[in-house]
Amino acid sequence: MTNTQTQHTFRVTGMDCASCAQTVETGVARLAGVESCQLNFTTETLRVSGTAVPQDIISRVQELGYDVAAPDEKRETAESLNFWQFMRQRQETTLALVGVLLILPGLLFNELLPMLGWEHPLLDLTSVAALVLAGWPIARSGWHSLRVNHELTINALMTIAAVGAVFIGAYTEAGLVMVLFALGEALEGYTADRARSSIRSLMRVSPQNATVMRPCIDCQEHLGQNGYTQGECPFCGIEPHRVPVEEVKLGETVVVKPGERVPVDGRILNGSSTVDQSTITGESAPIPRQPGDTVFASSINGAGVLHLEVTHLAKDSTISRLIRLVEEAQERRAPAQRFIDRFARVYTPAVVILAVLVAVLPPLLWQQPFIDAATSTNGWLYRALALLVVACPCALVISIPVSLVSALSNAAKNGVLIKGGAYLEALSQVRLVAFDKTGTLTQGKPAVTHFQSIHCQGNGCEPCTDLLGLTHAVERSSEHPLAQAVAQAAGAYQVQNRYPAATDVQARIGAGISGTVNGRQVIIGSHRAFNGLPHDAHCEAISAAEANGLTAMLVTTDAQYLGYLTVADQVREDAAAAVSHLHELGLQTAMLTGDNEATAQNIAGQTGIDRVFASLLPEEKVGKIEQLLGEYGRVAMLGDGINDAPALASATVGIAMGAAGTDQAMETADIALMHDDLSKLPFAIRLSRAAMATVRANVALSLGLKAAFLVTVLFGFGTMWLAVLADMGASLLVTLNGMRLTKFR
């Protein structure tokens, strides 16, 4: 019997920096039966695929010095704890606090005030005690990584440096190095947890309970009356019940009172209100909602009482998928982050080799002191040990992920779902933005402006309204915006039921739609799709309408031309401003549409689009994207996420408008605008550029400080404990700098 491959998910605790995640990831990957594993440091989520037993995975994580939280264990975030409370949570950080007290005498009299000449063996003893207490968890972790993963980690470097310092008699420095390093790691863990809390804040807006209209079951009040013994109570009827949101079922009716958060995604059955859905879409103002409209879980109801039909289970609600996708986004590492991860793996052993050369070569080649008897800090062994401390890559490793997660969580709070750091980095490099027209630059809610049969007898005559009714019979099966316009017009002229719904309805990609009505084949398409008309007067009228920016829909029955309809769509109010902001950012813009050239040019003139590509079939849109990629290198495509899927997939970054099809948009695009607000696009591009600028600044700061201290150490001017202090400071600086992106506007 063969084992089936499964995927297990764990929450790993006790990690202070990104290198901790790499250690766990490498160790788990070495287990028999593990096909793949990935540990997301930001969300503490470990995903393992293969046949390995979960207990073996947990044991390996614990063996490496970390732990796995129980599924129902409550998370205490740094947002609810101050630093000292955070330090007392774990044994290793508590030991570091004790180490701080023990190292103070040695720091005061041996390092800061050596001119007092106050020396005592007790000072060395307390320093060594501080080293042991603060350094034991660090040394243990370094040893386990070396034994299990066969790799030198940061913890191993610090242990080697501290033990070497004891060997040459620098007891206070040895203890101080370990205490400062332990404090630095704890501080990194604390700030990382604050970054995690920006994502968890999304979770806290999800209601835990819902008021559901259900029959009373096993009613204690009426048991025994008229033979009632159990089951649904015949006396109470349907009444509100307060239940956990996980127990709410599809199709049930949920009641949302004024001021309450909406517990599940649903469609309004009764009631009108305004709804604040900023947690999902980033909209700044509440929007009106009427019967038939949809509302999102976590939205805040206004003054009206709403009765909703449940359309998604709690686990599948928009906010739940948003949280899940944002967390998974951290696993799609940006190229810059992947480079740093690879660099750190090579960097650490290279530093050890360099330190050995620094310790050995000057004494061998130039008779320099290996250990200086007069002062331990001048020997080349000491400089080599200090080099190990200086080279600690903590700040470098943490510099990128903290910046990316801050930017991604900020984008999500403002209604922009970016699927990972890779797409954030790609968006920052885009040079042209291509737009679909219908539903993107326009409102996607066109209206029929004119319809005329070839047998027209005058305005609103029977043949013309019959043409409208026949067109609606075919279009009623379509969800296309043009079909919605026909449905509205058919309702206005009361011809929506003149013909039965068409059968054998087929979408003719890029050319219209066809169907069978009462045995007749009806085809509806564009002027271009029919390659000319036998009716000169209509041909001229259609050409004139298209020249004025209208969209024409031509109708034939059994290959005989019957008449045409014209439809107009309105440009979004924010389209021109959004395009203008993109131009201010130095970007070019283009429109890709299946509509005719005149309509496309009309919309481009209203919005300020630079280039227009009209009358395109879906496959031709892909060709144009490839052409633009050849010209500009990196191109973003903005569409509805469904009809434009091939073009979105071909672009460097595919961006979907979310409100018209949130489910599909969230799942298929690289980036989704959760509300149909084009101003979010310039915001997302500015945020991506700010994020990558922060990443570059953090990397430069980390490497710059390393280089400066490396020079001072090699020339004998730096001390080990100052090197640790500098590394701790650098880690704190890059973390705080990255976290500034959570406030970016």
Q: Which stretches of 476-552 are DSSP H helices?
A: 481-492, 527-530, 536-547
Distance CA 81, CA 691 (A): 27
Q: What is the CA angle 680-682-683, rounded to 5? A: 60
Helices (H) and strands (E) in the chain, counts: 24, 26
Which tokens belong to 634?
């990196």
Give, as one character, the DSSP assignment of residue 674.
Answer: S
Tell how strand 300-301 and strand 238-244 pair up.
Answer: unpaired
Three-class secondary structure of residue 48 per DSSP: strand
Residues 110, 122 contacting (CB under 8 angstroms): no
Q: Strand, coil or helix: what is 89?
A: coil
> Cα–Cα distance between 232 and 446 in angstroms, integer?
49
One-letter identity of residue 541: A
CB 468 within 8 A of CB 490: yes
Q: Residue 162 in contact with residue 209, Cβ under 8 Å?
A: no
Q: Residue 524: which of 551, 496, 490 has the closest Cα?
A: 551
Hey, which bits of 642-696 come out as E strands?
A: 653-657, 671-673
Burial 594-614 (b: 16+ CB within 10 A, else e): bbbebbbbbbbebbebeebbb
**Element at 50 (helix H, strand E):** strand 45-50
**Identity of residue 185:** E
Tokens at 353, concatenated:
């080799």
- Tell me the Ramachandran region of residue 542: left when phi exceeds 0, alpha when psi lies from -120 to 50, beta otherwise: alpha
Give the closest residue to 199 by CA, choosing from 68, 46, 17, 75.
75
3-state SS, 415-464, equals CEEECCHHHHHHHHCCCEEEEEHHHHHECCCCEEEEEEECCCCCCCCHHH
What is the side-by-side order of every strand in the sheet holding 253-256?
238-244, 209-215, 253-256, 306-310, 266-270, 294-295
What gap in Å lies between CA 620 and CA 592, rounded to an integer? 9
Choosing from 436, 595, 677, 727, the catalytic residue is 436
- Taken in order 197, 199, 205, 208, the sign of the CA dihedral is negative
Element (H or E) spanning 401, and its range? Answer: helix 394-413
Cα distances (angstroms) measured from residue 452 to each of 455, 495, 522, 536, 539: 8, 15, 16, 14, 12
Q: Can 16 be counted among the known catalytic residues?
A: no
Provide the annotated active-site residues. 436
